Amino acid sequence: EPEVTQTPSHQVTQMGQEVILRCVPISNHLYFYWYRQILGQKVEFLVSFYNNEISEKSEIFDDQFSVERPDGSNFTLKIRSTKLEDSAMYFCASSREQNSPLHFGNGTRLTVT
Amino acid sequence: AQKVTQAQTEISVVEKEDVTLDCVYETRDTTYYLFWYKQPPSGELVFLIRRNSFDEQNEISGRYSWNFQKSTSSFNFTITASQVVDSAVYFCALIWNSGNTPLVFGKGTRLSVIA
């Protein structure tokens, strides 16, 4: 069964550094998402992406964040200057249609020191 | 407001007991979709079920069953004869149909099944 893949599984970075989290969505899916989960807390929406542009973003997704689909398969989340509070599990997800189930990757655990 | 409430933060049961996880939602839309996801200790999010607002039939899948009641805005999840492998955090989630809205999660219920 096709799945969403995320790399790396764990990323450690120093405060102020830039990080790029990578995702390969399921190939015939059209909608892409990033969510994050601070340890032990709820899963929070960051951004959705469709037709090569951001379709919705949350208050969390400020100017430090950006997303890109640089080619036909990858979907990346960049954090320009990481802060301690960016430490979380970041999940990429994709769906075939707008309201169909989101399929999540296994997540990237980001640790900012 | 559109939101999902899972009032039970943690539940502990002994293996083979039945357990029900509660989910109450709020939405102004008449068309919406409800989901349950499982997050085992390994951390991934596993899709379990989607139900749209026009289909109030209850669903059973093996030991899992879901009770959708629009009158009480609830979408509860029951595990029958629980097993240790059911230990996980379970999230209820909602997406509504007006515009390209994101999936909104409840805070989750941590289920521990003890052998």
A→B interface, C-beta within 8 Å: 33, 41-45, 48, 50, 55-56, 58, 89, 91, 93, 98-107, 109
Q: Look over chain A and give the mean of its residue pLDDT values, rounded to a whole number.
A: 94
- For residue A82, the distance in angstroms to the closest alpha carbon of chain B comes to 23
Give the number of other CB atoms < 10 A from CB of residue B58: 13
Give the number of other CB atoms < 10 A from CB of residue A107: 24
How far apart (Å, rounded) are the C-alpha atoms in residues B93 and A92? Answer: 16
Do the chains contact at B50 and A91, CB–CB below 8 Å?
Answer: no
The residue among B10, B27, B103 with the most chain A CBs within 10 A of its CB, best to mutate, is B103
List of E strands, A1-113: 5-7, 10-13, 19-24, 31-37, 43-50, 53-57, 65-68, 75-79, 88-95, 103-104, 108-112
The pairing of strands B109-114 and B10-14 is parallel
pLDDT in tens, B44-94: 999 999 998 988 888 888 999 999 999 999 999 999 999 999 999 999 999
HSE-CB of A103 using CA atoms within 13 angstroms: 19
In the 8-state DSSP scheme, what is residue A59?
A: T
How far apart (Å, rounded) are the C-alpha atoms in residues A29 and A12? Answer: 30
pLDDT in tens, B3-41: 999 999 999 999 999 999 999 999 988 889 999 999 999
The residue among B45, B53, B90 with the most chain A CBs within 10 A of its CB, best to mutate, is B45
